[in-house]
Chain A
Amino acid sequence: QQQVKQSPQSLIVQKGGISIINCAYENTAFDYFPWYQQFPGKGPALLIAIRPDVSEKKEGRFTISFNKSAKQFSLHIMDSQPGDSATYFCAAGTGTASKLTFGTGTRLQVTL
């Protein structure tokens, strides 16, 4: 059973544009929502994370928007750069369970 649905599967954005990746979850017990960035041949690296007590978190060009009632959260990458080209995974978890459930990933390509 897939508990975190991620879209789109792939995304092409021009340099300087805004990249938007969406995720939806089912389990209302989730209380931690991170985003990971993965480059080819490497392990994912934590990019930014949010807890459900806030609706938005911003770190540099990266912003998470969170809608608790809709059970959705999204990653916005402002002023997208070619170096942002990677696969992005959303995830959700609960502290007591200690494990994360990941989305299926979005392959982002930022063109010149």
Chain B
Amino acid sequence: DGGITQSPKYLFRKEGQNVTLSCEQNLNHDAMYWYRQDPGQGLRLIYYSQIVNDFQKGDIAEGYSVSREKKESFPLTVTSAQKNPTAFYLCASSSRDRGYYGYTFGSGTRLTVV
């Protein structure tokens, strides 16, 4: 079945560490996105990529980095510069053929700083 796989489901990070969240899709979608979800704040866009080897900052990109070396993969690194990284992280993808509409989301990674 086609879909988006996020791993790990739960992740614990120590202060000062960088961690990388994985996102893989087999939907042949062109665009991929990373959102952060916090209680009462909805989903906020971190980074997005419309094509391989290109990505754009979203509304809250500080302290995060991404890469898009393959169409199927869009990993997110949470760096030590991100002061409040504890959150639920969601990856999504969409197709240019459908005008980028209709996101498909993964099941998320819950990151906790310990």
Q: Mark A31-64, 1 if CB is under 8 A from B, else 0.
A: 0101010000111111001000000000000000
Q: Produce 1/0 per residue, A73-108, CB < 8 A to B.
A: 000000000000000010001010011111111000
| Cα distance, A105 to B44, chains bound together (Å) | 12
Whether A98 lies near B105 (C-beta < 8 A) is no
Overall SS of chain B's interface: strand
In the assembly, what is the distance between CA of A44 and CA of B106, in Å? 8
Q: Given the complex, which residues of A lie within 8 Å of B6, measured CB to CB?
A: 43
Q: How far is the CB of B32 from chain A (nearest CB, A)?
A: 10
Contact pick for B90, options A32, A43, A46, A98, CB 8 Å: A43
* Nearest chain A residue, comparing its CB with the CB of B9: A41
Number of contacting residues on B, CB 8 A? 28
Binary interface profile of B, 1-34, with partner A (CB < 8 Å = 1, else 0)?
0001010000000000000000000000001010
Assess A103 versus B42: contact at CB under 8 Å? Given A95-B100, A98-B100. yes
A34 to B43, CA, bound (A): 14
A34 touches B101 (CB 8 A): yes
- Given the known inter-chain contacts A44-B43, A89-B42, A99-B45, please indicate yes or no for A49 contacting B90, CB distance below 8 A: no
* A6 proximal to B (CB < 8 A): yes
Which residues from A are CB-within-8-Å of B48? 98-99
In the complex, A93 Cα to B102 Cα: how many Å? Answer: 10
**Is residue A9 within 8 Å, beta carbon to beta carbon, of the partner chain?**
yes
Q: List residues of chain A with CB under 8 Å of any chain B CB.
A: 6, 9, 32, 34, 36, 41-46, 49, 89, 93, 95, 98-105
Which residues in B have some Cβ–Cβ distance to A below 8 Å?
4, 6, 31, 33, 35, 40-45, 48, 50, 58, 90, 92, 94, 96, 99-108
Q: 19 A–B contact pairs at CB < 8 A?
A: A32-B101, A34-B101, A34-B102, A36-B105, A41-B108, A43-B4, A43-B105, A43-B106, A44-B43, A44-B90, A49-B101, A49-B102, A93-B100, A95-B101, A98-B50, A98-B94, A99-B100, A100-B103, A104-B42
